[in-house]
Amino acid sequence: MRVDLSIFNPSNRPLIGLDISSSSVKMVELAGDDKGGYRVERYAIEPLPRDSVVDGKVVNIEAISDSIIRAWKRMGATTKYVAMALPAAAVITKKIILPANLREQEMELQVESEANQYIPFALEEVNLDFQVVGPAPSSPDEVEVLIAASRKEMVEDRVACAEAAGLKPLVMDVETYAAQAAFELVEQQFPDGGRDQIIALVDIGANVTNVTVMRNDQPIYTREQAFGGGLLTQDIMRAYGMSTEEAEIAKRSGSLPDNYQAEILGPFSENLAQEVARAMQFFFSSSQFTQVDHVVLSGGCAVIPGIQEAVFEHTQINTVVGNSFARMTTASRVRAKNLEADAPSLIVACGLALRRFDK
């Protein structure tokens, strides 16, 4: 289930998934392959200057658009159409039940009327859209409709970043829905395709860890925790007198002194594993469920050596590093080893790139 905050439809034209996070710009382009699956055409990750995005808000349009231009050029892309996403905290979503026999115009009027009750802003200040999810569980004569709304400036700032880079946004999605779309490709790698299993998607960003617990492709629990890879960067900066940029580069390349593993990375991995274990406890105490079958790690921290094992140790739950591309073919220009290492960071960008294939 994904939500357009613009009324455009990608209609299967070439489309790049463009994810603007707090630390980097990520871009992914997918195409169909000969066997009805997907092929990774190209991708790029470009770091952002510090504080370009703060708490999900675009602060420095120029710096972000410069990073987008560099990523787009490095990809060697030709298409300029992009699908983008807003952070979940910037979007108000609500499911409502409507009669199934409404025409689209009638449904729009009903949605606007319902939205007035849930949105704490005037409707002219928001981008509002809706999507029919499917038949209502209670009655075959009704449908479940998902409403999504966001302040216009949140949408316009992201659009401005893309347009300043010469690109054309077609779709504005929500990061959690884009991640869920890519997550479905990870889920297929579990026994029985993950059917009837409870799977926790743990996305470790620079500042925030988002936990979404899924069952049969439906989110049953979400939680945001103020913990991220930025803490590790700060520890490296303090220990070795580095700038943010130097610390990020050293963290990725592994070019740090011998004591890094034991004195800095080890304690960080322990703290991260404890945060995931705490999130699982919150889930159990606030739902009727008493177990989780799999934990899927995503975000830049997911590939840190030892993280997967530390999370398993603290939770005793099967833990895997999320790779949406595992069953995809790759174009000759894409290095499979690099893609595997970068895959956990590309979950949202991959989900956005999948918008190309929307019916």
Q: Which of 12-16, 227-231, 274-278 has the highest mean pLDDT?
A: 274-278
Q: Using CA atoms, how far apart are residues 209 and 295, in angstroms rounded to an integer?
A: 13
State residue 359's pLDDT score. Answer: 66
Average pLDDT of the chain, as a whole number: 90
Q: What is the mean pLDDT of residues 293-306?
A: 90
- If you write DSSP's letter for every residue of 316-339 in order, what string do you get? -SEEEE--TTTT-EE-TTS-HHHH
Check pLDDT > 80 for residue 1: no
State residue 23's pLDDT score. Answer: 87
How many percent of the chain have pLDDT more than 90?
A: 63
Report residue 201 as tokens.
Answer: 């998607």
Q: Using CA atoms, how far apart are residues 17 and 4, in angstroms rounded to an integer?
A: 14
Q: Using CA atoms, how far apart are residues 85 and 22, in angstroms rounded to an integer?
A: 13
- Digit-coded pLDDT (tens) for 33-54: 888 899 999 999 998 988 899 9
Radius of gyration of the chain measured on its C-alpha atoms? 20
Reply yes or no on domain 190-323 having CATH 3.60.70.12. no
Domain ranges of the chain: 1-90+153-188+326-359, 91-152, 190-323
- Digit-coded pLDDT (tens) for 149-169: 999 999 999 999 999 999 999
Q: What is the 3-state secondary structure (H, E, C) of 182-228?
A: HHHHHHCCCHHHHCCCEEEEEEECCCCEEEEEEECCEEEEEEEECCC
Report residue 347 as tokens.
Answer: 């979950």
Q: Using CA atoms, how far apart are residues 333 and 218, in angstroms rounded to an integer?
A: 35
- Please tell me what DSSP assigns to residue 263: I
Beta carbons of 252 and 303 less than 8 angstroms apart: no
Check pLDDT > 60 for residue 3: no
Per-residue confidence band for 196, with pLDDT thresholds at 50, 70 and 90: very high
Q: Using CA atoms, how far apart are residues 228 and 236, in angstroms rounded to an integer?
A: 14
One fold for both 1-90+153-188+326-359 and 190-323? yes
Q: Using the Cα atoms of residue 281, residue 287, residue 292 and residue 298 in order, give the sign of their dihedral.
A: negative
CATH topology of domain 1-90+153-188+326-359: Nucleotidyltransferase; domain 5 (3.30.420)
pTM over 0.75: yes
- Digit-coded pLDDT (tens) for 267-283: 999 999 999 999 999 99
Q: What is the mean pLDDT of residues 176-194?
A: 92
State residue 213's pLDDT score. Answer: 94
CATH topology of domain 91-152: Dna Ligase; domain 1 (3.30.1490)
Q: Using CA atoms, how far apart are residues 181 and 322, in angstroms rounded to an integer?
A: 13
